[in-house]
Amino acid sequence: MGTDSHAAGALLARARTLHLQTGNLLNWGRLRKKCPSTHSEELRDCIQKTLNEWSSQISPELVREFPDVLECTVSHAIEKINPDEREEMKVSAKLFIVGSNSSSSTRNAIDMACSVLGVAHLDSVIIASPPIEDGVHLSLEHLQPYWEELENLVQSKKIVAIGTSDLDKTQLEQLYQWAQVKPNSNQVNLASCCVMPPDLTAFAKQFDIQLLTHNDPKELLSEASFQEALQESIPDIQAHEWVPLWLLRYSVIVKSRGIIKSKGYILQAKRRGS
């Protein structure tokens, strides 16, 4: 792995942006860890395996080019949706904002997901609550810039329906009253509350908002965990220079049968000061 790691390290030392795509995890075969115990463990494993596979396939031409943007993929796992089958598929995504205060991250993530999957739009996008400082209560002001960008994407027909995650009744009500495009769903982490809060249930029923459950940790990907995965895969770099901006997890489900046809992760990171 030494030469691979040196080439990858040289590219990362010059690049400004890293796009990491796992492709369809169902196509990973031997790369796939049989039973990751948590979403965080699965994600970390995916990041490391994707980096390792990409490192092993770096061409001399790429090293000579030193591109500003590195496309880090598991090439054999990339799978676009057959246009003839698009109407039979539901394409859903959950977007996690990690290290960026820029609402443009939202559009970048959706555009990249559409490109990776070969589709014109996503059927459903849920945005996880954006990162806030410890001790600060999530407010409508924190959500507004991201929600406005999602509304723009709905209006430009890039997304059909948009939803939220981990909002309580007050937060969901404030967003609903303010938003032009209303949330059609809200995810609730049952690990933190065991049962659906009655006030949230009543509000959601009144305004036809679907309540879904999830078991994602509060912080699926942190700056530190990304840098650790990067450093372990490619020792010849200054991993602390790289900051993940956003993470998108997608799934493609056959509507008539409820079978998962494809799932994977897409991530964007930037080098500090670039």
For 94, the 3-state DSSP assignment is strand
Closest CA to 241 of 268, 273, 271, 274: 271
Per-residue model confidence as pLDDT tens digits over 129-141: 888 887 888 999 9
Query: Per-residue DSSP letters for 212-265?
Result: EEE---S-SS-HHHHHHHHHHH-TTS-GGGEEEEEEEEEEEEETTTTEEEEEEE
Residue 47, CB half-sphere, CA atoms under 13 Å: how many?
28
Q: In the chain, where do the E strands start and end?
A: 17-21, 69-73, 89-97, 122-127, 159-165, 185-189, 210-214, 242-254, 259-271
Q: What is the pTM of this model?
A: 0.94
| Pair type for strands 122-127 and 185-189 | unpaired
State the pLDDT at residue 260: 95
- Provide Rg for the chain, Cα atoms: 19
94 bridge partner residues: 126, 249
Residue 115 has which token pair? 């490109």
Rounded-to-integer distance, Cα 66 and Cα 26, Å? 31
The pLDDT, as a whole number, for residue 1 is 41
| 142 CB neighbour count, 10 Å cutoff | 17
Output the CA torsion sign for 227, 233, 235, 236. Answer: negative
Q: Are 124 and 160 in contact, with CB atoms under 8 Å apart?
A: yes
Q: Three-state SS for 10?
A: helix
pLDDT digits (tens, 9 = 90+) for 107-131: 999 999 999 999 999 999 999 988 8
What average pLDDT score do residues 14-42 get? Answer: 83
Residue position matching structure tokens 């249930």: 201
Q: What is the mean pLDDT of residues 70-99?
A: 94
Answer for the pair 77, 46: CB distance below 8 angstroms, yes or no.
Answer: no
Residue 214 β-bridge partners:
189
21 versus 74: the higher-pLDDT residue is 21
The single-letter code of the amino acid at 68 is D
Contacts of 16 (CB under 8 A, 6+ apart): 68, 69, 270, 271, 274
**Distance from C-alpha of 52 to C-alpha of 231, rounded to nearest angstrom:** 11
The pLDDT tens digits of the residues spanning 140-155 come to: 999 999 999 999 999 9
Q: What is the pLDDT of residues 39-63, one digit of tens each?
A: 888 899 999 999 999 999 888 888 8
> Are residues 264 and 118 in contact, defined by beta-carbon separation less than 8 angstroms?
no
Residue count of the chain, please give it.
Answer: 274
